[in-house]
Amino acid sequence: MNVSVRTLHRAFDGETVMAYVRRRRLEGARSDLDRSGSPYTVAEVAARWQFADPSHFRRAYRNAYGQSPRAAGDRSSRAPARHGARGVIGGIRP
């Protein structure tokens, strides 16, 4: 398929192709973090959505949604408690 770069960019209504891809990856990561009982850490979600550096993911997420990815996961507070050898770590449920 022969398409010029200009034509390709025009198809994205003012958004660059990379901005579109980045936005879709952030939307997928947000969905994973909001999922009830998600067992993934922020770093795992970043890697799952192809962000090579968790700190870059955190900055991009904060710029897009106005809060840290950790706050998004905490906001739902639906994640199961993490259990250590003696039950819930520190005796406090997250």
Query: Residue 5: its pLDDT value, please?
Result: 82
For the chain, report the end-to-end CA distance as a whole number of angstroms.
Answer: 51
Q: Which parts of the chain register pLDDT below 50?
A: 77-94
3-state secondary structure of 84: strand
Query: Residue 75: its pLDDT value, please?
Result: 55
Instruction: Find where tokens 């897009």 sit.
Output: 64
Query: Residue 22: its pLDDT value, please?
Result: 94
CB 90 within 8 A of CB 78: no
Query: Residue 76: its pLDDT value, please?
Result: 53
Q: Which residues are CB-neighbours of 51 under 8 A, at least 6 positions away?
A: 25, 29, 57, 60
Query: Residue 78: its pLDDT value, please?
Result: 44
Tokens of 52: 């090579």
Query: Residue 79: its pLDDT value, please?
Result: 43
Closest Cα to residue 21, out of 1, 63, 49, 41? Answer: 49
For residue 22, the Cα-to-chain-centroid distance in whole angstroms is 11
Q: Report the distance separating Cα 17 and Cα 4, nearest Å.
A: 13
